[in-house]
Structure formats: structure tokens, C-alpha cells
Amino acid sequence: MLLGTLSTSSVAMALLMARLVLAVVFLAHGIRHIFGGGKIAGTARWFEGLGMRPGIVHAWFASLTEVGAGVLLVVGLLTPLAGAGVVGVMLVALITNHLKNGFFIFRPGEGYEYVMTLAVMGGAIGTLGPGDWSIDAHVQALSKLLGWPGFAIAVGGGILGCALLLATSWRPAKPSEA
């Protein structure tokens, strides 16, 4: 079936490419936060420095969300939920670390262009769905999560998760303490 000049297979391929690229980024970050450099303890110290208290809880929460969202995106399962994980983690990163550094990633402290792009991709994939080459496409109940329901879960869930996490756990140093 053709959709304008797009075939269903070309749309499936484009969504698969978007899902896999986003999945690789999230898997890489989550795995690195757990096993790379300073391991989870180093990630926890970094989160504490950003004002996320307790750092160890948030290091595990963010890292497992990144890995979990990455796995879900690879197979195209519960895609709006994976999108919510991407949106939520990236909004927390944007607010706690990147927003104050301006737009461009190459600025000192890294700007927000990268995390903003990932958050928007998470929302877009959560809204559009994973495409025909996914588990979601073959489970009738999950196919009802496309469009506005997917948007509500991915974007709304990500924003809500971010807001709840920041309201309960973000305690940045006051300017006089920095």
C-alpha cells in the first residue's frame, strides 16, 4: 500500500533507523554509567554534584532507565513507554546540567542541543510508533498506542516523570554555596 509517495516499507525502515540510533545512544550511556570510568559510584558522585539526592539512587534509576528504554527501542516493544524514558531522562539532564550552558554542545559544560534533540526524538518515536518491523506492530493491543495516545504517554509521561523527580529529589547548591 502506498501512502502518497511513501511505501509502508520505507516508513518502516525510517522508523527502524530512528529507533536503533536512539537505542544505541541510550544503551551506550546507560552501560557506561554503570560500568565505565568511575562506574555507578562515579555516576552517583556526579549526580550528587548536580544536586540529585541521593546520588546513588538516581544514578541507578537513570542508568537502568537508559538501558531499559534502549532495549525496548531495539525490539520496538512498548515504544511510547520507551519514549517516556528518553524524554524524562533527557529533560532531567537538560534542567539539571545543560540549560545553563547555552544551546551549543561545544560550549564549556556542554549546551542543551544534544539532550533536546534526543528528548524530541523520544517523543516523536513514541507518537509515531515503532513501525511495522517491531513487536508493537504485531500485538493488537499495543497498536492502539499510536498517535495521540503515544504522544500522551511519551511526552506527557516523560514530563511528569521529570517534574516529580526534580520536585522530590533535586536540591542544587545555592549560588552562595557554589
Each residue's pLDDT expressed in tens, for the chain with a length of 178 residues: 555 678 889 999 999 999 999 999 999 999 999 999 899 999 999 999 999 999 999 999 999 999 999 999 999 999 999 999 999 999 999 999 999 999 998 888 889 999 999 999 999 999 999 999 999 999 999 989 999 999 999 999 999 999 999 999 999 988 776 5
Name the amino acid, one letter, at 149. Answer: P
- Residue 13 has what pLDDT? 96
- Residue 174 has what pLDDT? 81
pTM of the model: 0.93
User: Of all helices (H) and strands (E), which one includes residue 6?
Assistant: strand 6-7
- Residue 43 has what pLDDT? 96
- Asked if residues 57 and 64 have their Cβ atoms less than 8 Å apart, the reply is no
Torsion from C-alpha of 67, 69, 73, 78, nearest 10 degrees: 140
- Residue 3 has what pLDDT? 52
